Structure 1
């Protein structure tokens, strides 16, 4: 789901409902649902709704008490088992406990039907609205709102392999949902029943329905020899605003299919249904969204691979859905608009991510919707740590093949994966240990803050690059990452060099540039989420000045300063600009400074005499 509100506010599915809505009860049951038949009576002109869930299930152990989720706002009208009514049931919170008339053995395929009713005013997942004076009724299920509008096993870990959705609605409206449109049949009393069927594995949070006076704008794309229909249900009054963006969808599908494998639902469809929320929701085969902007359209489409085909195992791991989908908007920007716009895309994210010091990509509070769908962390930082994988690999062919293998791996495809699953997978794919990456960038909080000093030899092009870094949050003292610097010369020369950062203090020698360096740009393409506290180009010409000498350099305990003229003032700062030492009214030609308690690193010393203010650097070992 794409977070979007005036440049992508927190995704609407979470905040339009109560921010205090708690997670539904995760049921420990002795059965697995395999098929849902959902029959809904939805009239956009009415608050009231009703329906029947028929769930087919396989028992995994002996079963006599059937548990399923139904939030308190739903009224249970009847329960039918083998054509007989069951009256023996209890309710506890959002759990419906049904006593079966017999003990079912393990390994039995069975079914039960539950009829229910409710009111849109009390449902967190079914809402009424209007557009241009026309009513609309729409649903949302993510993360645990499905059971507020239909009876189901409302969790992440139970995907059914078949779904039939029957929506009875007034004749003047159309109903949008998952899968293929099988029929629209008269239901009497100026009502129709629309039947959608979906034959791919799906969790309940990806099931959605919307009903209003839709106009259709359709297209198609050929993938692997299969023609896939693209069905768009749009508001008639705004359809012309979005046809240009929607005409690009076939190209989007082709790009993502090339990179990550064929469109997952090629035997059914892809499409969109317009709704009244600003954001989008990646209902399998038919994404719901309020506006069809480039980023939102791409984001929800990318979920068909990342989130729908391979689904996060818990809401702690939501970055595996949202981070990857958001990164696909960057890949599309790179593909359509080029490297410069892609660098701007990355830079914007880096600025937002580093606007605060804390926060991890891994979600520590899965009970909080606002944290789960946090724009800065789950989406933007999530996307940039995916980019960091690409940057660390430094091999686009390997990167794309790894992700293609991921979404098509038999252990995860049409199933679930958590963060540790992805770590193990990428380690096998690359043959490398990714522990530092996951500890720093996924589980750890914050970002690195770099101070960079580049020393240049007098009149030459030999450089010593000094890196000093700290973490913005105490959970990560320093980050492991590649890092690039673009060196620039007086004649317009530019050359990027790559450094592997694995400590708080590191020095690198660069002695093969073919030009005189006059400046440098750290992180020129915004590949690393970081802040640059200082970046200084220094020359040893200052240190060779016979008028002022500092020694020894590097220094351990005692720094000596000698000058041909009297020294008036000395100030020492670290690379972040923090003053470490300052002394005025010295009025001596020689001076000593105790450096025993200085931290190891590079320092800048400013020495003021009657003649000038000179700046030098020294290293504390």
Structure 2
């Protein structure tokens, strides 16, 4: 058919004017901006819509003495709609340039949203590359719960901790746990005033280390998908301990010299715990393991940064078990939304209970009773809200998510029996390996594996607020 009716031509002109597209741009008339946020109830503005990141290539130059950071982020993603523009999460830092598919893009800022408008519509299902260069002094964020996150200075360098929003302080991205990606993190640091190099530790495996005379560059690679809140860089001075697990998995433990005496057992405990956990939870999900033991007085938490959990001081065995158990529960199988975090924290806390029993301490039945009766030191406040329904992002690290979450896990174990229970855990980590999962999927698996209707159990222990009567 040749020729257009006048009304059709007028409609096309109006559409072109609204979208900034031309007739030759094909389906661009349906292009629209990607959403600024993925609709997570606890963090409504976190993450972005319209695309799925597959890889981050982060090249960083960092000077500890001035706490200045220069970065280039190469973000490879697949569009999930026709995109006229899209957002990246970035708090602070000055953006110098941005390109999409090697063509200069327009950028603007709105709070922690970096709004990128490409020169040409990005098509649905198109794999596209965004390159952002930036610099400045990265921020430390005080979360709603009073905890510090983001880029945190230490006495000999810095550390980057991302839960739940801190990763946006040092690289632009889609910073919601539902969008996982692989990573290459390359960091260049100078010599210090005494002529010594700083150490750089990050996720995954150390690929290269290049001494350039006045600077040293270390390239770390995470081959398995990772949620951005688990991405991590620590710069400082560390004693490095290398080893292997029983299954020849490489172990890399970095310990601040100020913590070396108290953390003397960590390098041996890491492979022991990983081997033990693998027997109960299924094969270890990553290609390396380890830990970072820093010296950061005043930081009152540890974080399960992928492959190498971070500790602000020497951890006790229970805390080490907890963060290593997260490599299965939280890191490999990641919450689909933040309200599902009880699946990470409850299962990691239950791993502590299992380890304590293994070491000849309280058995899991007694630990459950101590939490139920309020006699355990960590049981205070566990009935404040249902584990699966934190009232706000500031409360998602409160006792109900951890202690009562572990109680839910124990009730499932008692209801289905040990053989089925551990089969459930191994199936869970296998089915959702390197992916995301939610509470309803966990319930469905428990019922499917056991052949039982567990509605009353989960309604009573997971979804209701008050302390249940004994069942």
C-alpha distance in 1 between matches for 2:295 and 2:53: 29
Aligned to 1:457: none
Question: Is 1:257 the equivalent of 2:282?
Answer: no
Does residue 228 of the first structure (1) align with residue 253 of the second (2)? Answer: no
Give the aligned partner of residue 112 of structure 1: 130
User: Under a length normalisation based on structure 2, what TM-score does the superposition of the two structures give?
Assistant: 0.82
The answer to which structure, 1 or 2, has the higher relative contact order (CA under 8 A, 6+ apart) is 2
Q: Trace 1:162-201 onto structure 2 (pairs within 5 A).
A: 162-171=182-191, 172-187=197-212, 190-201=214-225
Q: Equivalent residues in 2 for 1:271-420 (5 A)?
A: 271-276=291-296, 277-290=299-312, 291-338=314-361, 340=362, 342=364, 345-350=367-372, 351=374, 352-353=378-379, 358-366=384-392, 368-369=393-394, 371-374=395-398, 376-393=399-416, 395-409=417-431, 412-420=432-440
The offset of 1:105, in angstroms, is: 2.1
Asked which structure has the greater CA Rg, the reply is 1
Q: What is the CA distance between 1:357 and its match in structure 2?
A: 5.2
1:136 aligned onto 2:157: yes
Mark the CA change 1:170 to 1:273 in structure 2 (over 3 Å): closer, same or farther.
farther
Tell me whether 1:239 sits opposite 2:263 in the alignment: no
1:17-96 correspondence to structure 2 within 5 Å: 23=43, 25-71=45-91, 73-86=92-105, 88-96=106-114
Describe the shift of the 1:318–1:120 C-alpha distance in structure 2 as closer, same or farther (beyond 3 A). same
Distance 1:317 1:82, change over 3 A: closer
- Following superposition, the deviation at residue 66 of structure 1 comes to 2.7
User: Could you tell me whether the CA contact under 8 Å between 1:231 and 1:269 is conserved in 2?
Assistant: yes
Structure 2 SS opposite 1:405 = helix
Give secondary structure in 2 for the equivalent of 1:64: coil
How far, CA to CA, are the matches of 1:239 and 1:354 in structure 2? 33
Instruction: Report if aligned partners of 1:273, 1:286 keep a CA contact under 8 Å in 2.
Output: no
Alignment of 1:506-585 (within 5 A): none
Question: In 2, distance between residues paired with 1:205 and 1:121?
Answer: 15
The count of aligned residue pairs is 411
Q: Is the 8 Å Cα contact of residues 278 and 289 (structure 1) preserved in structure 2?
A: no
Q: Whole-Å Cα distance in 1 between the matches of residues 82 and 138 of structure 2?
A: 37
The change in CA–CA distance for 1:239 and 1:28 in structure 2 (over 3 A counts) is closer
Give yes or no for contact 1:312–1:416 (8 Å, CA) kept in 2.
Answer: yes
The TM-score, its normalising length taken from structure 1, stands at: 0.63
Query: Greater helix share, 1 or 2?
Result: 2
Does the CA contact (< 8 Å) of 2:461 and 2:468 recur in 1?
no
Match of 2:173 among 149, 152, 156: 152
SS in 2 for 1:420: helix
State the alpha-carbon separation in 2 of the partners of residues 168 and 28 from structure 1. Answer: 29
Distance, in Å, in 1 between the alignment partners of 2:434 and 2:44 is 23
Shift of 1:54: 0.7
Partner deviation per Cα, 1:305-350 (whole Å, 9 max, x = no partner): 1011111111111100001001101101111215x45555444433
- Are 1:218 and 2:218 counterparts? no
- 1:136: how far off? 2.3
Contact 1:313 1:417 in 2 (8 A): yes
| Conserved? CA contact 1:281–1:300, under 8 Å | yes
Question: Bigger CA drift: 192-201 or 44-53?
Answer: 44-53
Q: Is the 8 A contact 1:63 1:103 kept in 2?
A: yes
User: Given that residues 259 and 295 in structure 2 are in contact (C-alpha distance below 8 angstroms), is that contact kept between their aligned partners in structure 1?
Assistant: no
Structure (1 or 2) with the greater strand fraction: 1
Q: Which of the residues 429, 432, 436 maps onto 2:456?
A: 436
Task: Structure 2 unaligned segments of length 5 or more: list them.
Answer: 1-41, 142-148, 192-196
Distance across 1 between alignment mates of 2:424 and 2:139: 46
Distance 1:24 1:243, change over 3 A: farther
Alignment match, 1:100: 118
Question: 1:272, CA displacement in angstroms?
Answer: 3.0
Pick closer, same or farther for the CA change 1:178–1:275 going to 2, 3 Å: farther
Give 1:51 shift. 1.1
